[in-house]
Chains A and B, each alone.
Chain A
Amino acid sequence: LAKTTQPISMDSYEGQEVNITCSHNNIATNDYITWYQQFPSQGPRFIIQGYKTKVTNEVASLFIPADRKSSTLSLPRVSLSDTAVYYCLVGVPERGGYQKVTFGTGTKLQVIP
């Protein structure tokens, strides 16, 4: 299983762009990279998923370099409501479900007024 490493916590001021980097040195050829967000007392919620290069949706962008050994979740102009834990996952859910996709401990983002 591809192991992921993320910073334990980050602080950011409102309105700034936040970049959270995840390392996954032993990512397999077919693995996808998926990010989830979790608020207190709620289940994780899907943010974005990618395989290579850049992916963007209405919430975030995901940057994946050519070697795919890391990825960066970018949150533009964060607000207080973006305070949450962000998880980076690596695996191949399409081939058989999420049983081999491991949640790490995540990055706790604190947005400061």
Chain B
Amino acid sequence: DADVTQTPRNRITKTGKRIMLECSQTKGHDRMYWYRQDPGLGLRLIYYSFDVKDINKGEISDGYSVSRQAQAKFSLSLESAIPNQTALYFCATSGTQGGNQPQHFGDGTRLSIL
């Protein structure tokens, strides 16, 4: 979804480095999410935020932190990257207006940690 932009699209880094993945959206949605995808495991929720002042841990938050800088921006940080955090990371948004609004996903950041 072009309305949800993730940067960078690809990143290779070394163990122990601090990394930030950024997500911005133009959909005007309050709710934003970070997922990671590993082969054979589907998508797993890392963190989610319902508004700028609301941050919640997901299923697999250990080793990650997030910042909701504005309604449109939600960043994911790996304070000290380790190889098992190598994965495809997705940001998503969802709205709250009228019914079960679907999620909208960015095209992902492929992160490799050596």
**Is B truly associated with A?**
yes
Q: A residues bordering B, Cβ < 8 Å?
A: 32, 34, 36, 41-46, 49, 87, 92-94, 97-99, 102-106
Give the residues from 69 to 114 in chain B that come closer than 8 angstroms, CB to CB, to chain A: 90, 92, 94, 99-108, 110
B4 on interface, CB distance cutoff 8 Å: yes
Q: How far is the CA of A64 from the CA of B44 in the complex (A)?
A: 26
Known: A103-B42, A106-B42. A44 touches B105 (CB 8 A): yes
A45 to B101, CA, bound (A): 13
Residues of B with C-beta under 8 A to A45: 1, 105
Give 21 pairs: A residue, B residue, CB < 8 Å, sorted on A: A32-B100, A41-B107, A41-B110, A42-B105, A42-B108, A43-B4, A44-B90, A45-B1, A49-B102, A97-B50, A97-B94, A98-B31, A98-B33, A98-B45, A98-B103, A99-B33, A99-B45, A103-B42, A103-B43, A105-B42, A106-B42
Q: Within the complex, which residue of B4, B92, B100 is in contact with A34, where a contact is CB–CB below 8 Å?
A: B100
| Chain B residues with a Cβ closer than 8 Å to the other chain, count | 29
